[in-house]
Amino acid sequence: MATGLPRVTYSNIGADFGPLHAWLDQALPCFRREMLGRAWPNIVAGRHDVSGRAYEIACPFDRDLLVARLVEADRKAVEHAVLAARAALPAWRARPWQDRVAVMRRFAREVDQRKYELAMAALFEVGKSRLEAVGEADEAVDLLVWYCDEMERNEGFTRQMGRAVPNEETVCRLQPVGVFAVIAPFNFPVALSCNMLGACLVAGNTAVYKPAEQAGLSASILMEAARAAGLPDGVFNLVTGAGPTGAALVNHPDLDKVAFTGSTEVGKAIQKSLASRGTKLTLELGGKAAHIVFEDATIDQAVEGIINGIYFNQGHVCCAGSRLFVQESVEEEVVAKLKARM
């Protein structure tokens, strides 16, 4: 792993990243030669699973460049993955929360060791810029660490409650939900996967993880990190594929919860599918975020903010600023400067 390179965050975007770019100039050709075009299996209960149709992922900015050969998990593979997660649940949820935190901290360290691999994978499979890709990998590590910190800060979310009478004993305790389907999007395949997986796993749940069909390479590297960290077999299972794989997973009757980040259209379909069942659901969908510019704004800065807000990550952001509200007194100035800037 490279050392001494600057981290990339939302708050230091103006820093000198010359050393990082110089390192990437050397690392990207090597990554392209050694990692791209390889075949990656699904991982179920710690074992390779190739049940399903083979498919290939091409780089979005160079369609002749093969990023990965993957397997679209079929209904049989999804069934095996859910059963594996169910079988692993009793032992994982019964472990003291301190043990789970220790395992997840190892997972965070393994992800950190692979963060440049993950960044370069996202660069090729999603088409991110260098800084966006490295920043996302840094964020993924931060998210995993944060969930561990929260468990420790709240002592496993076990709290002694007040007593109405002297001989009363009341405890509020965080309980695992059970088996999760974690379905991640293509626009932030590393950070948003770690966001959902970190919370799910440290709290004692098990997961069947389906990344976006384009993001199987970064997902496979995450799985390697999880196995190196010692996550028990079946606690974290990987199935790749497109809509049919996702539908088979969401509609499996033995899930306790679905965590989905993606489009509003698909989120509505999942909600409708689960409406008559007891399966819990968390959705993070797209929005129509607005920029609001008043007459006392520094217009040049506002224009830069508008440009960044809509074009960041090629516009593939759930909170992309796709609407603009401008006070009438500065409308002409804002529109003229936006046109010039674009």
Q: Which residues are catalytic?
A: 284, 318
Q: Which of 22, 54, 20, 24 is nearest to 39 (CA)?
A: 54
Instruction: Give the C-alpha separation, 58 to 49, whole Å.
Output: 22
Token pair 């960290």 is found at 229
Give the number of other CB atoms < 10 A from CB of residue 102.
15
Distances (CA, A) of 1 to 23, 31, 115, 202: 11, 13, 8, 26
Quote the crossing angle between the two packed helices 130-153 and 97-113, to the nearest 10°.
160
Q: Are 263 and 239 in contact (CB under 8 A)?
A: no
Instruction: Give the C-alpha separation, 339 to 44, whole Å.
Output: 52
Beta-bridge mates of residue 72: 53, 240
Q: Which of 206, 198, 244 is nearest to 77 (CA)?
A: 244
Residues contacting residue 119 through CB under 8 Å, at least 6 positions apart = 130, 133, 134, 136, 137, 190
Beta strands in the chain (DSSP E): 38-39, 42-44, 47-49, 52-59, 62-73, 158-160, 171-173, 179-183, 206-210, 236-238, 257-261, 280-284, 289-293, 321-326
